């Protein structure tokens, strides 16, 4: 399924997007976000700047820049939150805009050893906690 950029969550930068995520900032070719639902402490998302449906639509140079952005965000997450592992999810069945979910997993934490839940709806932070997390991630990313 290919979505229309006029109806795309990431392209329209609408209220629904901001209800789900907090923008950290712009990277090389993408935008980084904190996922508001924080069952997986430090969960982030990286969305490609342009409306493309799949990683295979990018040139080698574009793909490498996007994956470098993803790697930079996971390095920052590793430094700040020290998870055992970071799971990567690129699910675009219903919203075909290239993006990666980055879900930190902890040995004694939810779903360790299994697939992370898309939106378990269990853990939300205070505005102050989100602001602190955003500031820490921006600093770790150098943006």
Residue pLDDT, tens place only, 20-54: 999 999 999 999 999 999 999 999 999 999 999 99
The CATH number of the domain holding residue 22 is 3.30.428.10
Confidence class for position 91, pLDDT limits 50, 70, 90: confident
Confidence of residue 99 (pLDDT cuts 50, 70, 90): very high
Task: Give residue-wise pLDDT tens across range 57-85.
Answer: 999 999 999 999 999 999 999 999 999 99
Quote the CA–CA distance of 67 and 90 in Å, as a whole number: 12
Domain count for the chain, please give it.
1
**What's the whole-model pTM score?**
0.94
Strands (E), the chain: 21-26, 30-35, 44-48, 85-89, 99-105
d(CA 89, CA 45): 9
Q: Tell me, what's the pLDDT at 45?
A: 98
Q: What is the mean pLDDT of residues 101-121?
A: 94
What pLDDT does 5 receive?
85
**Domain span including residue 29:** 5-141
| 132 pLDDT higher than 80 | yes
């Amino acid at each position: 399924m290919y979505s229309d950029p006029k109806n795309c969550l990431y392209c329209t930068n609408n209220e629904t997007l901001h209800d789900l995520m907090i923008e950290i900032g712009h990277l090389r070719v993408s935008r980084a976000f904190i996922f508001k639902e924080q069952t997986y402490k430090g969960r982030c998302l990286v969305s490609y700047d342009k409306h493309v449906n799949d990683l295979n639509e990018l040139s080698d140079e574009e793909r490498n820049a996007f994956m470098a952005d993803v790697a930079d965000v996971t390095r920052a997450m590793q430094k700040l939150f020290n998870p055992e592992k970071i799971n990567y999810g690129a699910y675009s069945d219903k919203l075909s805009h290239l993006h990666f979910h980055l879900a930190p997993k902890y040995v004694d934490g939810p779903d360790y050893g299994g697939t992370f839940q898309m939106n378990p709806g269990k853990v939300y932070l205070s505005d102050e906690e989100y602001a602190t997390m955003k500031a820490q991630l921006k600093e770790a990313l150098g943006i």
